[in-house]
Amino acid sequence: MNCQDSDTGWLLRVRNLTKIYGEPIATSVQYTGPRFNSNICPETDAIVACAEINFDLYPGEVLGIVGESGSGKSTLIQLLYFDQVATAGEVYLSALDEAQTNLLTLSNQRKRHARNTLMGMVYQNPRDGLNFGFSAGGNIAEKLLMAGSFHVGRIRERAAYLLGKTEVPVARMDHTPSTFSGGMQQRVQISKAIANNPPLLFLDEVTSGLDVSVQARVLDLIRQLQRELGVSMIVVSHDLAVIRMLTDRTMVMKNGRIVESGLTDQILQDPQHAYTQLLVSSLL
């Protein structure tokens, strides 16, 4: 597969993305997956966290990834955000080298640049996305600095603007996130993630640890930002209610593979795969 598939207009193209921990052998992928109800290679105990991942994401589209713990959904976006190193595969972004360069083959320096200018990530645990030794404003400044903004006044201005936009009191800009509530920490993370106006945003279980009412407000904020900025998003969640509210399309993962993908309303109302049927029927 190469990046000159007939289809055009996509923002992100992922082909055969694979992550294996341990020592894979040639048949590790073949003998794992939903068919075997396992992601552990029977020969070497290598763990196939995800494999055979193929999809395209279009501008402005919101793609959900659902699946149980250990299905590989978080690994998938961590690979795309370079938090982890892929074992194999190809990833193209239309905004990078006119979609001609496989992102996985970039130098570390170029990976950092792509990550800071073209992507944003919001983690489940704010400690993964924020430096608790810095102030809220400092965390946002870090992302801006990494993308090449060096004018202190303008950085402060932008940080204040972003905090305002995500409804964090600007008066708390110089406080560290450790003094913030969980919902506010997520808002600071969101500010940081969108600081450089990236075309692509990853959200990993962003509301999982929050109270229902706080969760609702964070989801409202994400929806509103998505509409205003027209950013493409990949939303990882085990919560079908979150997926239903935020996404246009959904991929269902199990044992490191995509078992089904479709329009979100189709996945919820006419699930095809046995596992998706179980998942949907478990919805309260």
Partner 1 sequence: MNPILDVRNVSKHFHLHIQNQKHIAALTDVSFQMAEGEILGLTGKSGSGKSSLMKCLYRTYLASSGEMHFRTEAGSVVDLVTAREHEIIRLRQTEIVYCSQFLSVIPRVPAADVVAEALLRRGGDRAEALERAKELLDRLGLPRELWDAFPATFSGGEQQRVNVARAIIAAPRFLLVDEPTASLDLKTKDVVIDLFLAQKARGSSIVLITHDAHTLARMCDRRLHLEFGRVTEAVTA
Q: Report the residue from 4, 6, 7, 284 that binds partner 1 according to the rule CB under 8 A.
A: 7
Residue 245 near partner 1 by CB under 8 A:
yes
Who contacts 74 (Cβ-Cβ below 8 Å, separation ≥6)? 204, 205, 236
Q: How many residues interact with partner 1 (rule CB under 8 A)?
A: 25
Q: Min. distance of Cβ 153 from partner 1 in angstroms?
A: 31
Q: Which residue, 139 or 232, is less far from partner 1 as judged by CB?
A: 232
Rg (the chain; Cα; Å): 19
Amino acid at 151: H
Q: Which of 99, 216, 221, 229 binds partner 1 (CB under 8 A)?
A: 216
Window contacting partner 1 (CB under 8 A); options: 18-26, 55-63, 100-108, 179-187: 55-63
Binding span for partner 1 by CB under 8 A among 56-64, 71-79, 127-135, 174-182: 56-64
**95 touching partner 1, by CB under 8 A:** no
**Among 205, 166, 157, which Cα is nearest to 187's?**
166
Q: Which is nearer to partner 1, 19 or 249 (CB)?
A: 249
CA 86 to CA 30: how far, in whole Å?
18
C-beta closer to partner 1: residue 147 or 216: 216
Site for partner 1, residues 60 to 89, rule: CB under 8 A: 61
Interface pick for partner 1 out of 6, 107, 108, 281 (rule CB under 8 A): 281
Q: From the centroid of its chain, how far is CA 249?
A: 14
Q: Does 147 bind partner 1 (CB under 8 A)?
A: no
Q: Does 211 bind partner 1 (CB under 8 A)?
A: no
Rounded Cα gap, residues 265 and 262, in angstroms: 8
Binding site for partner 1 (CB under 8 A): 7, 9, 56, 58, 61, 216, 220, 223, 227, 245, 248-249, 261-263, 265-266, 269-270, 272-274, 277-278, 281
